[in-house]
Amino acid sequence: MTFARNAKRMHGPPAVEGGPTLERPAFVLLMMVAEHGPTRLSTLADAVYSDLSTVSRQLAALEAAGWTERERDPDDRRAFLVRITEDGRHVLDCNLQARRGLMRELFADWSETDRLELARLLGQLNKSLDESQATRAVAGA
């Protein structure tokens, strides 16, 4: 509980130089668009564990800002793919730099061994969470 409370307190984004500051949902969605390349909205919704209508609304804001754009899916002309724009990449890079700076500050007095151990354990936790989610999804189907 202490970790959850502290993480929530830090929920606000760090100050960004060279571009606008993204709130967490926009940051995560823009990051997923960048990582997945041109992709369908449904794939993005699955990647961020959110429903299609929420992601569609968030994506509309990113598109209005000029950070993403839609293009017809060449495999299914009825569907669209979402991709990051050059401006979107710039905004994402500025926000990544600010968030990495915050992490460097937080871990400045940690030994390399401790940082690596935390990374290993978080990786293990994420794997367990993904497996648990997959198991629940199969059980619920």
Could you read off the pLDDT of 36-81 as tens digits, one per residue? 989 999 999 988 889 999 999 999 999 999 999 999 988 888 889 9
Q: pLDDT tens digit string along 8-37? A: 666 566 778 878 889 888 999 999 999 998
The total number of structural domains that make up the chain: 2
For 17-65, the DSSP string reads SSSPPPPHHHHHHHHHHHHH-SB-HHHHHHHTT--HHHHHHHHHHHHHT
Amino acid 39: pLDDT: 93
DSSP character for 16? -
The residue segments making up the domain with residue 18 are 2-109
Is residue 61 domain-shared with residue 80, that is, in the same domain?
A: yes
Half-sphere exposure of 92 (CA within 13 A, CB side): 22
Indicate the pTM of the whole model. 0.78
Beta bridge partners of 68: 84
Q: How confident is the model at residue 3 (pLDDT cuts 50, 70, 90)?
A: confident
Question: Quick one: 121 and 93 in the same domain?
Answer: no
Cβ neighbours for 50, distance < 8 A, ≥ 6 positions apart: none
Q: Is the pLDDT of residue 134 over 90?
A: no
Together in a domain, 103 and 123:
no
